[in-house]
Amino acid sequence: MQARRQIEQAVPAQLGIEQLLLQIAAYLQSQHEQNLVKLQVQSAAVEETNPLDAYPAIMTAAHISEYMHISRRRVYELFQTEPSAGGIPCLVIGGSKRVKKESFIRWLDGLERGKQGVRDRTVAK
């Protein structure tokens, strides 16, 4: 509806139908090009951002929980599990546990490659 009003305002009444169609086509082409530019900008922004960039170099259980959408309790269970069995490698500092972001990324990469063990617990029927 808005596009029709814009065309009606921009097009004098005495134009012939062919000229009107040409102006409509030009208008639609310009709108299409603007939308393409917007999509290119949006997709470039999505490609350049990594969600882990927002997290600090040394991550806490809360950071990992937030990123992975799992409970902090589950993160602490993964801290207790040996890395060779699929656990998250962590640093113990007093009573606190922390993870280097690089170690966490390597752990995630290992999960993707299937080398580490967070297993699917569904029961086969």
What are 55-110's pLDDT values in tens digits?
A: 999 999 999 999 999 999 999 999 999 998 899 999 999 999 999 999 999 999 98
Average pLDDT over every residue of 26-40? 81
pLDDT value of residue 90? 95
The answer to whether the predicted template modeling score (pTM) of the entire model surpasses 0.85 is no
Mean pLDDT (the chain) is: 81
Sheet holding 58-59, edge to edge: 58-59, 96-100, 91-93
pLDDT value of residue 32? 79
pLDDT value of residue 59? 96
